[in-house]
Amino acid sequence: MKLARHAVITAGVAGALLIHGCGSNVEPAPELGPGPGTYTALSADEEIRIPFEIYRDDILMIAEVEGRELRMLLDNGSLWDQLLFFGSPRIDSLGLVYDGEIEVGGSGSGDPVMSSSASDVTIRFAGVEFAGQPAIVTPYESGITNLWEGADGQVSAAFFKHFVVGIDFDEMVITLTPSGDFRYRGGGNVVPLSPASFGSWTIPGTLVTGGGAIEVDLMLDLGDLHALSLTTGGPDGIELPDGAHEAHLGFGVQGEIIGHVGRVLEVRVAGYSVPDVLAGFTAAEEGERTDDDAYIGFGLLRRFNVVFDYSGGRMFFEPNRLFDAPFEYDMSGMDLKRATDGNLFVARLVPDSPAMNAGIEVGDVVVRIDGRPTAECRYWDLAPLLLGEGKSVALVVSRDGEERTVTIRLKRLI
């Protein structure tokens, strides 16, 4: 997740590290700043190992606050010091004491959200406990909880400022290692990790497009589900590629993100070449000069086992079992949105797509996909049903209260 440039974020509570077991304190890079609060390792092992799962193209870990289990996502689009909780009855049950208000912004077309702040929160993950943590709780009525349905919040600087963070997508394990104890033992390549603006950090990369090679600073964002998120019309000269089409790109704190989806011929990062990469494109506002034209997101980062060493100003990449998997996108041509009554409806159609050619129209309600009632299913669980070149999919579609069954044959549109 990218926090908006105008977001108001308070300073975190900083303190000395508490390390139980082997290890030594290491001064962080000046640009990084101290980690929020303190931490205690709960075992004497050299590394803290935290299992995770992939949930909605996010990294999800189990945590505990006030004796209650929470499902927390890992994000580094901006290294904010606060724990971020999505306001809900479950979060209310924690009994956090709020001590102020804070404005939280992010991607999307809406306004920033006024949220509550808290201090001195303790959160525990497998093998480590963080104390004295500042926290932000978004209001339940803002709808942010629904955007990340099934997750309770996000953690960022508590991990990345206190530790060298390794993410192994083959073993599905995160390792946290104190900076002074870290020794890279993998077989990958290293790239410099540099501070940018508003808590973001970059690595060097190259985008190969129809117009040639473009050297860019790639902003890191594990919370961005796209392989790449690119801005056209900015200083890097990125242009919309042929064949791109308008699409819903997801949601941020401030609401829906609309842009285009297309492909970059090749991405070069850390000495590796990744061909035919799917990317989301948004246009720079008129007169805007932004230094964050290019983000490398979860869709590309997950093809490597990675190590983030912010204190050391470096990052390690090693290809994993997903490295050669093709980048795929919806093959129906329907851009679906959830209505207030819980039904999915067609918000956009790609011209000459399977859905359009089958007579589906914008505004139609999709009642079932391959027999699954859409009102009872989360969209990200239904999305895989609309992938597979040549696969036939049966849709039950309602228009003006009348239902009909339509069969479409999927094809690759991008």
CATH of the domain at 395: 2.30.42.10
The model's pLDDT over 185-236, given as tens digits with 9 standing for 90+, comes to 999 999 999 999 778 999 999 999 988 999 999 999 999 889 999 998 888 8
User: What is the SS3 assignment for 273?
Assistant: strand
Residues 280 and 346 in one domain: no
Confidence (pLDDT) at 375: 84
CB 29 within 8 A of CB 98: no
Question: Angle CA(336)–CA(337)–CA(342) in degrees, nearest 5?
Answer: 120
Residues 339 and 281 in one domain: no
Residues 301 and 343 in one domain: no
> Where among 153, 181, 209 does a domain terminate?
181
Is residue 139 predicted with pLDDT exceeding 80? yes
The CA distance from 407 to 387, in Å, is 14
Residues 42 and 167 in one domain: yes
Q: Is residue 3 part of a domain?
A: no
Residues 83 and 155 in one domain: yes
Is residue 18 predicted with pLDDT exceeding 60? no
**In 3D, which of 40, 36, 38 has the Cα closest to residue 83?**
36
Q: Is residue 297 part of a domain?
A: yes
* Sheet bearing 189-192, strands edge to edge: 48-51, 173-177, 164-168, 304-309, 314-319, 189-192
Lowest-pLDDT choice from 144-153, 224-233, 261-270, 273-282: 144-153
Q: Is residue 414 part of a domain?
A: no
Amino acid in position 281: F
Residues 161 and 135 in one domain: yes
The model's pLDDT over 152-162, given as tens digits with 9 standing for 90+, comes to 999 999 999 99
Residues 167 and 56 in one domain: yes
Residues 170 and 247 in one domain: no
pLDDT-based confidence at 389, cuts 50/70/90? very high
Q: Is residue 324 part of a domain?
A: no
Using a 10 angstrom Cβ sphere, with 0-12 exposed, 13-18 middle and 19 or more buried, the burial of residue 303 is: buried
Show the domain range for 280: 190-319
Q: Which residues have C-beta within 8 Å of that of residue 368, sequence separation ≥ 6? A: 374, 394, 395, 396
Q: Is residue 142 part of a domain?
A: yes
Is residue 15 predicted with pLDDT exceeding 50? no
Q: Is residue 23 part of a domain?
A: no
Is residue 256 predicted with pLDDT exceeding 70? no
> Where among 151, 181, 211 does a domain terminate?
181
Confidence (pLDDT) at 237: 84
Confidence (pLDDT) at 24: 31
pLDDT-based confidence at 25, cuts 50/70/90? very low
Q: What is the CATH number of the domain that holds 75?
A: 2.40.70.10
DSSP 87: -
Residues 51 and 172 in one domain: yes
Q: Output helix, strand, coil percentages for the chain, rounded to the nearest 5.
A: 10, 45, 45
- Mean pLDDT in residue range 105-115: 65
Is residue 39 predicted with pLDDT exceeding 80? yes
How many CB atoms are located within 10 Å of the residue 194 CB?
15
> Where among 181, 213, 246 does a domain terminate?
181
Q: What is the mean pLDDT of the chain?
A: 85
Is residue 111 predicted with pLDDT exceeding 60? yes
Is residue 383 predicted with pLDDT exceeding 90? no
Q: Is residue 352 part of a domain?
A: yes
Is residue 282 predicted with pLDDT exceeding 80? yes
Residues 131 and 221 in one domain: no
The CA distance from 111 to 106, in Å, is 9
Residues 352 and 301 in one domain: no
Confidence (pLDDT) at 332: 94
The structural domain count of the chain equals 3
Residues 288 and 386 in one domain: no
pTM across the whole model = 0.86
